Amino acid sequence: AAADVILAIETSCDETSAAVIRGGKTIMSNVVSSQIDIHERFGGVVPELASRKHVESITLIIEQALEEAEVELKDISAIAVTQGPGLVGALLVGIVAAKSLAMALDIPLIGTHHIAGHIYANELVHDMAYPCMALVVSGGHTELVLLASEGEFRVVGRTRDDAVGEAYDKVARALRLPYPGGPHIDRLAHEAEEAIELPRAWLESESYDFSFSGLKSAVLAVINQTRMKGLELNEAALARGFQESVTEVLVTKAMRAAREYGAKQLLLCGGVAANRGLRSALAARCEAEGLPLLVPPNSLCTDNAAMIGAAAFLKLKREQLTGLDMKADPGFSL
Ligand code: KG4
Ligand code: ZN
């Protein structure tokens, strides 16, 4: 178990990644090849292009991961792969590679949930304690997940429309900023001297769900009205107003959920965890309330295979293996 060496593969969206993880904790390699330069000009991920690029890269990325880890295929004890959620054509590329390896080497195959990966990225750098609450924020997801014990997930809140990262990218696009727009909005928000006040979507008072499409529409309305009146738009103030609205709702709901479920830790993960406004606001609230906050380094927040290896290790430990007839599951539930 502690000596188990997992080769993990992640191809659910626009990153082709392979990693070698020992004992569920030690990253021996984590190779990530981003396709951003391909999708950039379209302002978002084009599924067909993503699959094709994964096919081109996957073998090379796996070889590189083995090489960097200084291991050979005979040293690998199991193959982990993202089974879903994600783009079906993209997932399939990783799955086919994983199945072939598991079959050829006659070792276990572990289909892994992408969000479990984002959450267990924390275990690669911290020691998780249960129960804990995870705030998962990325381009495809916005979820509050309760972990009552190791590997036991319960989604207590989720977005009803856009994911946070998606909202960031759409707002950035309206401001004619490059894709992905999250980091640009984050930077503008920090440069701003003032904020344009925007609404907060609290939904029903008891709900841990989120909604960002109304906020996005409010931002677009400000942009359109300003342009129509021929006025100059204070883009930084708008970015800051948007970021403040997003952050306040995320932080408030995450803290309330952590308290209600007696969480010993709050985990922040997914690509949007890189957001400076969100990180600092959450850190301040956790500090004030004496709740430990766990955040992986940025390289483990964005999509990568190391996190898939970390989550798969728990399943391997419990012998929760996946058959070779495994299928991509774009709507895979935790
Ligand atoms: O987790 P990730 O790499 O891919 C998905 O699984 O979706 O997340 C990518 C998302 C993009 O929407 C990107 O704009 C956003 O994370 N993002 C940010 C920041 N850095 C990346 N959003 C806000 N602030 C940032 N600093
Ligand atoms: Zn992701």
What values do phi and psi take at 71, rounded to 5? -125, 160
Could you tell which of 16, 243, 272 is best to mutate to test the pocket of ligand 1, judged by most ligand atoms within 8 Å of the CB?
272
Q: Pick left, alpha or beta for residue 207 (phi over 0 → left; psi -120 to 50 → alpha; otherwise beta).
A: beta
pLDDT in the model for residue 36:
84
Q: CA nearest 57: which of 22, 91, 11, 24?
A: 11
Protein residue with least CA distance to atom 22, ligand 1:
182
Measured from the CB, is residue 94 less than 6 Å from ligand 1?
no
The pLDDT of residue 333 is 86
pLDDT tens by residue, 43-81: 888 888 888 999 999 999 999 999 999 999 999 999 999
Q: Can you give the pLDDT at residue 331?
A: 86
Phi and psi dihedrals of 234, rounded to 5? -85, 90
Tell how far the Cα of 103 is from the centroid of ligand 2, in angstroms.
Answer: 27
Binding residue per annotation — 117? no
Is ligand 1 within 6 A of the CB of residue 186?
yes
Binding residue per annotation — 114?
yes
Q: Locate the DSSP E strands across 77-215.
A: 78-84, 109-113, 132-137, 142-149, 152-158
Name which of 191, 193, 187, 159 is nearest 270 in CA terms.
159
CA of 287 relative to ligand 2 center, distance in Å: 27
Short-list 268, 11, 40, CA closest to 136: 268
> Does the annotation place 303 within a ligand binding site?
yes
Cβ–ligand 1 distance for 303 under 6 Å, the answer: yes
Rounded CA separation 31/33 (Å): 7
**Atom of ligand 1 at shortest range from CA of 172:** 14
So what's the pLDDT on residue 41? 83
| More confident: 245 or 3 | 245
pLDDT greater than 90 at residue 220: yes
More confident residue, 283 or 49: 283
pLDDT digits (tens, 9 = 90+) for 36-45: 888 888 888 8
pTM above 0.80, yes or no: yes
Q: How many CA within 13 A on the CB side of residue 3?
A: 1
Separation of 320 CA from ligand 1 center, angstroms?
31
- Rounded to whole angstroms, how far apart are CA atoms 99 and 218? 46
pLDDT interval class at 1 (50, 70, 90): low
Q: Residues of the chain with pLDDT > 70: what percent?
A: 99
Q: What is the mean pLDDT of the chain?
A: 95
Residue 214 beta carbon below 6 angstroms from any ligand 1 atom: no
Ligand nearest to the CA of 277: 1
Tell me, using a 6 A CB cutoff, whether residue 180 lines ligand 1.
Answer: yes
Angle CA 142–295–187, to nearest 5: 75
Annotated binding-site residue? 14: no
Residues 112-146: tens digit of each pLDDT: 999 999 999 999 999 999 999 999 999 999 999 99
The fraction of the chain above a pLDDT of 90, given in percent, is 90
* Rg, C-alpha atoms of the chain: 20
pLDDT digits (tens, 9 = 90+) for 166-204: 999 999 999 999 989 999 999 999 999 999 999 999 999
161 known member of a binding site: no
CA of 114 from ligand 2 middle (Å) equals 6
Query: Stretch 274-286: mean pLDDT, rounded?
Result: 97
Give the pair of three-digit tokens for residue 118: 């984002």
Domains detected in the chain: 5-120+301-317 (3.30.420.40), 129-295 (3.30.420.40)
- Rounded CA gap, 254 and 244, in Å? 15
